[in-house]
Amino acid sequence: MITLKAYLFISLVLFVTGLVIIISRKNIVAILLGIELILNSAALNFVAYSKYTAVNLDGHVFALFIIVIAAAEAAVGLAIVIRFFQVKESVHIDEASDLREELTR
Amino acid sequence: MSNQSLNAFMPIIIMMGLALGLYGAALLVAHLLSPSKPGGKKDMPYECGEEPVGSAWSMFNVRFYVVGLIFIIFDVESVLMFPVATIFRKMNAMGEGTYILIIFLSFISVLLEGIAYCWKKGDLDWVKSYKRSADS
Amino acid sequence: MFSDILFLSSSSLIIASCVLMMWTKNLMHSCVYLLGVLIGIAGLYLTLGADFVAATQVMVYVGGVVILMLFAVMLTGGKDFQSRSQKILGLLPLMGSKYTFMWGSATAMVFGFCQIYFFRHLFFELKVQETTSNQYAPTIEKIGELLITDHVVAFEISSVLLLGALVGAAIIARPRKERPAFLEPDHHDDHGEDHH
Amino acid sequence: MENTIAGYFLKFEPLKYLVTNSSAWLGFDTTVLIGFIIFLTFGIVFLGFLATVGGFGTIAERKISADLQARIGPNRVGPYGAFQLIADGIKMLSKEDIMPRDADKFLYYLAPFLSLFGVVCTIAVVPFSENFIMADLNVGVFYALAISSLVGVGIFLGGYASNSKWSLLGGMRGASQIISYEIPVTLCIMMIVLLAGGLSFGAIIDEQAGMPWNWYIFHNPFTFIGFFIFFVSALAETNRAPFDLPEAESELVSGYHTEYTGIRFGLFALAEYIEIFVVNGVAVSLFLGGYHLPFSFLEGTIPGNLLQFGTFFIKTCVLYYVVIWIRWTFPRLRVDQLMSICWKYLTPIAIFNLVGVAIWIVCFDGQSMFNLLFTGASHSGGGH
């Protein structure tokens, strides 16, 4: 029988994958992919807890809202990516440094 | 709407397997029957006989993209409206019709505001969008 | 038994796609593997009895977000900038210098253990009911009732949030012919080739 | 799986006997296993049936177009060219499978599969008759809507992977067209969901049992408009003329499958033709009463189910004929017209319809137009 821990493990795998993608990729679109994974792991946790610990469906509603927020985030984020590409002609994350002060590295 | 066991989803998994099987079988039979002599001009991308210049993976047209952005917001809003639409008639029979109608209509009115905004600003136009924003 | 099979196949699809997503250098392929991950998560939702959430997952992500991602990858050229070093230690300090990263991770670990220690009741004494029933009640009507009773404010506010997202995305991505004056080429040359 | 085809067949004596005996012999309850085998068998049967229908769709297309243009059409292979599809199939299988030099190999192989996958998975919820339905899910309509959006991904990837300019243009047009026209389709389906109070196909069809005036298309003026919006949007979703911009042969050679040859082109085309049938079937189920006959006749038996299946099939074929008829009658739209039709006409009208239906339900308590006009007339809402 599948236990709660199995779902939490899958959720952990998703989260770690998302985190690794975020910190190891330099392309902004790839970073957005990682964020999607992290949001999905959170939604999976909500639904799993909703089945195993509670009798109501609040977890499902939360998962729905997470999906909604993730879609809105993807829309705005990708719009920013496109605009950024139009301006800078690159999607390298280090190019987004117009507001940075000159620090000693 | 009744209680449903997970087995209700079994046919879907079976159809997924069948799709995979159909694709694999078709490719296998085609591989056995068809000749395979790659090379030469045959492998060139078809451009009506001209030599292709550069790769195709560099084209840029943002207008398709704005449509996608508008779409995804509408998609999500419709997803949220589905559960409310499902219980609409039930609530109406329970005498809560006005309440749920107000909730539903206020949600839709925000949706309409979005489409009205995009319409007014020319995001839904195909050709004009360039001109208008260049003027402003 | 069927739920076990569904769980195993979905989770193996998720893990395989996750590994491939980290592995591949082609961003387009990465998006396609994301598709696999999302479909696998929808399968997990099915095993949890959340059929509406599963269908929503497929509808919003597969029909919307992934297509948008593919568009974005194609429009921006899909070049993936690999980090300078492929080794794990080389990957680590990308978010700052090596020292800030080490201090940050050490602090995070200490705080994490403290939190786990203080909230251990929540973790270990959580009442988990291992349901054995294979019957799932229809969820969509209950979700609808929750949306118009308990979560009605969130429901209405989310529509406003989506309106904001729509307007913002449309404004930002709207095609413009001229480039902003402050980003003319002479200003632009400062950055560029020194990074990679 | 109570309402589905496996549950139906498990009620028969020989299978019951088989289940009891094999359970005793193997030591566990074999109902699920036997159900799996029945599902698998009928999955193959339905898939084969729909593939044949799709194949005949190509012939019907050529014959009807020939008829509309006062030609004869294919007439060499078999009587009236009826075996043309076999010849076509053999031709597809024995043609060389060429891949362009710079193509993305993985995506090039994946794209036809995604297209086929999205369509084949939809078949599982199409209600052929009262008992001949593979899965009567609680979220049936929504599931069909969701999984069929994989076709858009397949088309886009097919266009992208070929690394040809025509393909790329066609793929982008296809993806943006499919996602745009999904909005009116969703809103029209939501209108029906408001009336039916459920997302399962069985519930929606049972609400429209009986005489044609119980059909949802005649329920009120808004649904009447809604049907046409749904139908037009479905044409665009399946890339049919006059919305066939992704494969417009006069401007884009062949659109997203320019570089596809042999069997993979065939699978793209097969998926497209099956999708037309499935979408028409969904339209029939949602608006035109589905499989219901005006009278109850032999319900629950196999001949009765076959009769219902025939009803469903005839209704769907009528819509299929209309689809082909439209293709050979109307000229193709331009891209800007395509987008303005979707976003400036269909979507606002669909939202208006949705609001109208909601107000109708509250004002008239969900009664149909016919009931209101002829109060006291015999309301034969049978089937419950």
Alpha-carbon distance A79 to nearest alpha carbon in chain B (angstroms): 8
The model's confidence at residue D290, banded by pLDDT at 50, 70 and 90, is confident
A vs B, Cβ pairs < 8 A, gives: 23
Least CB–CB distance from D100: residue in B20, B34, B43: B43
Our count of domains for chain B comes to 1
**Residue ranges of E strands in B2-105:** 4-5
Interchain pair C141, B90: CB under 8 A = yes
Interchain pair C58, D137: CB under 8 A = no
A58 neighbourhood in chain C, CB within 8 Å: 146, 150
| Cα separation values, D326 from D178, D232, D244, Å | 19, 10, 12
Least CB–CB distance from B86: residue in D143, D166, D199: D199
Using the 3D structure, point to which of D59, D94, D129 is the last residue of a domain: D94
Q: Can you give the pLDDT at residue C98?
A: 66
| Cα separation values, C153 from A43, B83, B103, C148, Å | 20, 15, 10, 8
Those chains having 3 or more beta-carbon pairs within 8 angstroms of chain C are A, B, D
Mean pLDDT of B11-23: 87
Which C positions 72-101 lie with beta carbon below 8 A of chain B?
72, 74-75, 77-78
CA distance D146 to D137: 13
Interchain pair C59, D145: CB under 8 A = yes
CA distance B73 to A33: 18
Q: Is the pLDDT of residue D32 over 70?
A: yes
Q: Are residues D293 and D361 in the same domain?
A: yes
Mean pLDDT of C135-155: 82
Which DSSP letter does residue D1 get?
-
Alpha-carbon distance A64 to nearest alpha carbon in chain B (angstroms): 8
Least CB–CB distance from C144: residue in B62, B71, B83: B83
Interchain pair C163, B110: CB under 8 A = yes
Q: Return the minimum-mean-pLDDT range out of A69-78, A81-90, D9-18.
A: D9-18
Alpha-carbon distance B50 to nearest alpha carbon in chain D (angstroms): 12
Interchain pair D1, B27: CB under 8 A = no
pLDDT in tens, D150-197: 888 888 888 888 877 778 888 888 888 888 888 899 999 998 888 888
Question: HSE-up of C71 (CA within 13 Å, CB side)?
Answer: 30
Interchain pair A57, C143: CB under 8 A = yes
Mean pLDDT of C137-161: 85
Assigned domain for B85 exists: yes
C55 neighbourhood in chain D, CB within 8 Å: 139, 142-143, 146
Interchain pair A82, B65: CB under 8 A = yes
Least CB–CB distance from B69: residue in C170, C176, C178: C170
Least CB–CB distance from B126: residue in D102, D259, D340: D340
Q: CA nearest B90 in D: which residue?
A: D197
Strand, coil or helix: C136:
strand
| Cα separation values, D224 from C115, D202, D286, D362, Å | 60, 21, 12, 19
Distance linking the first and last C-alpha atoms of chain D: 20
- Pick from D113, D150, D167 the residue to mutate for testing the C interface (most C CBs within 10 Å): D150
Q: Return the minimum-mean-pLDDT range out of A37-41, A75-79, C123-127, D300-304.
A: C123-127
Which residue range is the domain that position B101 belongs to?
62-135
pLDDT in tens, D298-342: 677 777 788 888 888 888 889 888 888 888 888 888 777 888 888
The model's confidence at residue D239, banded by pLDDT at 50, 70 and 90, is confident
Which C positions 129-168 lie with beta carbon below 8 A of chain D?
138-140
CB distance from C26 to chain D under 8 Å? yes
Interchain pair D162, B45: CB under 8 A = yes
Q: Report the helix count and the strand count for chain C, using DSSP H and E.
A: 10, 1
CA distance B6 to D32: 11
Interchain pair B62, A82: CB under 8 A = yes
Contacts of D187 (CB under 8 A, 6+ apart): B78, D347, D350, D351, D353, D354
Q: Is the pLDDT of residue D363 over 80?
A: yes
Q: Are residues D90 and D113 in the same domain?
A: no
DSSP-assigned states of every residue in A16-67: HHHHHHHHH--BHHHHHHHHHHHHHHHHHHHHHHHHHT-SSSHHHHHHHHHH
- In 3D space, the residue among B40, B27, B19, B48 whose CA is nearest the CA of residue D97 turns out to be B27
D351 neighbourhood in chain B, CB within 8 Å: 108, 111-112, 115
- In 3D space, the residue among C26, D149, D117, D154 whose CA is nearest the CA of residue A33 turns out to be C26
| Cα separation values, C31 from A44, A75, C27, D125, Å | 20, 15, 6, 28
Which DSSP letter does residue C93 get?
G
Which DSSP letter does residue C59 get?
I
DSSP-assigned states of every residue in D2-31: -SSHHHHHTTSHHHHHHHHHHHHHHSS--H
Mean pLDDT of D276-287: 89
Model ipTM?
0.87
| Cα separation values, D63 from D16, D51, D60, Å | 47, 18, 5
Which residue range is the domain that position D11 belongs to?
1-94
- In 3D space, the residue among D327, D352, D177, D372 whose CA is nearest the CA of residue D255 turns out to be D177
Q: Is the pLDDT of residue D41 over 80?
A: yes
Q: Which two tokens stand for residue B73?
A: 């917001």
Peptide bond into D242 cis (omega under 30): yes
Q: Are residues D280 and D369 in the same domain?
A: yes
The model's confidence at residue D382, banded by pLDDT at 50, 70 and 90, is very low
Give the residue, B49 or D115, on which the prediction is more confident: D115
Q: Are residues D138 and D265 in the same domain?
A: yes
Those chains having 3 or more beta-carbon pairs within 8 angstroms of chain B are A, C, D
The percentage of residues in chain C with a pLDDT greater than 70, rounded to a whole number, is: 70
Alpha-carbon distance B121 to nearest alpha carbon in chain A (angstroms): 17
Those chains having 3 or more beta-carbon pairs within 8 angstroms of chain A are B, C
- Pick from C5, C7, C12, C41 the residue to mutate for testing the A interface (most A CBs within 10 Å): C41
Q: Is the pLDDT of residue C195 over 70?
A: no
Assigned domain for B1 exists: no
Q: Can you give the pLDDT at residue C136?
A: 66
- Phi/psi region, residue B39 (left: phi>0; alpha: psi -120 to 50; beta: rest), is left
CA distance C18 to C36: 9
- Pick from B14, B57, B108, B132 the residue to mutate for testing the D interface (most D CBs within 10 Å): B14
Assigned domain for B128 exists: yes
Give the residue, D261 or A67, on which the prediction is more confident: A67
Least CB–CB distance from D138: residue in C35, C51, C64: C51
Q: What is the CA radius of gyration of chain A?
A: 18
Mean pLDDT of D114-136: 84
Q: Output b/e per residue, A50-64; b: 16+ Cβ within 10 A.
A: bbbeeeebbbbbbbb
Q: Can you give the pLDDT at residue C193?
A: 43
CA distance B28 to B32: 6
Alpha-carbon distance C114 to nearest alpha carbon in chain A (angstroms): 20
Which DSSP letter does residue A92 get?
B
Our count of domains for chain D comes to 2
B69 neighbourhood in chain C, CB within 8 Å: 68, 166, 169-170, 173
What single letter denotes the amino acid at residue D124?
Answer: A
Q: Average model confidence (pLDDT) for chain C?
A: 76
Alpha-carbon distance B131 to nearest alpha carbon in chain C (angstroms): 9
Q: Is the pLDDT of residue C89 over 60?
A: no
What single letter denotes the amino acid at residue D213?
Answer: W
Least CB–CB distance from D180: residue in B18, B59, B71: B71
Quick one: CA torsion of A52, A55, A56, A57, rounded to 10 degrees? 30
Using the 3D structure, point to which of D94, D115, D136 is the last residue of a domain: D94
Assigned domain for D380 exists: no
Task: Please check whether residue D342 is in contact with residue D185, taking contact to mean a CB–CB distance below 8 angstroms.
Answer: no
Alpha-carbon distance C123 to nearest alpha carbon in chain D (angstroms): 34
Q: Can you give the pLDDT at residue A48?
A: 86
Q: Is the pLDDT of residue B118 over 80?
A: yes
Going from the N-terminus, what domains does chain A have, and what CATH number goes with each? 4-95 (1.10.287.3510)
Task: Please check whether residue D125 is in contact with residue D201, taking contact to mean a CB–CB distance below 8 angstroms.
Answer: yes
Max mean pLDDT range (B44-48, D24-28, D95-99, D266-270):
D266-270
- Pick from C2, C57, C68, C74 the residue to mutate for testing the D interface (most D CBs within 10 Å): C74
CA distance D340 to D333: 11
B66 neighbourhood in chain D, CB within 8 Å: none
Distance linking the first and last C-alpha atoms of chain A: 54
The model's confidence at residue D35, banded by pLDDT at 50, 70 and 90, is confident
CA distance D361 to D355: 10
pLDDT in tens, B19-51: 888 888 888 888 888 777 777 777 777 766 666
Interchain pair D175, C139: CB under 8 A = no
Assigned domain for D69 exists: yes
CB distance from C23 to chain D under 8 Å? no
Helices A28-52 and C27-47, axial angle in degrees (round to 10): 10
Assigned domain for D360 exists: yes
Asked whether D and A share 3 or more beta-carbon pairs under 8 angstroms, the answer is no
Q: Can you give the pLDDT at residue D1?
A: 55
Assigned domain for D275 exists: yes
Q: Is-above-0.90 flag for pTM? A: no
Q: Is domain C1-80 classified as CATH 1.20.120.1200?
A: yes
pLDDT in tens, D75-101: 777 787 778 888 888 888 888 877 777
Contacts of C178 (CB under 8 A, 6+ apart): B134
- Pick from C53, C58, C124, C126 the residue to mutate for testing the A interface (most A CBs within 10 Å): C53
Q: Average model confidence (pLDDT) for chain A?
A: 83
Residue D225 CA, chain-centre distance (Å), reads: 20
Interchain pair D197, B12: CB under 8 A = no
Contacts of D33 (CB under 8 A, 6+ apart): D22
Max mean pLDDT range (A17-21, B49-53, D254-258):
A17-21
Q: Is the pLDDT of residue C4 over 60?
A: yes
The total number of residues written for chain C in this structure? 196
B92 neighbourhood in chain D, CB within 8 Å: 361-362, 365-366
Using the 3D structure, point to which of D94, D119, D145 is the last residue of a domain: D94
- In 3D space, the residue among D274, D272, D281 whose CA is nearest the CA of residue D244 turns out to be D272
Alpha-carbon distance A103 to nearest alpha carbon in chain B (angstroms): 36
- In 3D space, the residue among D343, A58, C38 whose CA is nearest the CA of residue B63 turns out to be D343
Assigned domain for D16 exists: yes
* Other beta carbons less than 10 A from residue C142's beta carbon: 18
Interchain pair C59, D107: CB under 8 A = no
CA distance D180 to B68: 7
Least CB–CB distance from B113: residue in C143, C147, C163: C163
Q: What phi and psi, each to the nearest 5 degrees, are found at residue A27?
A: -90, 135
Task: Please check whether residue D314 is in contact with residue D152, taking contact to mean a CB–CB distance below 8 angstroms.
Answer: no
Q: Is the pLDDT of residue D267 over 80?
A: yes
Interchain pair B9, C163: CB under 8 A = no
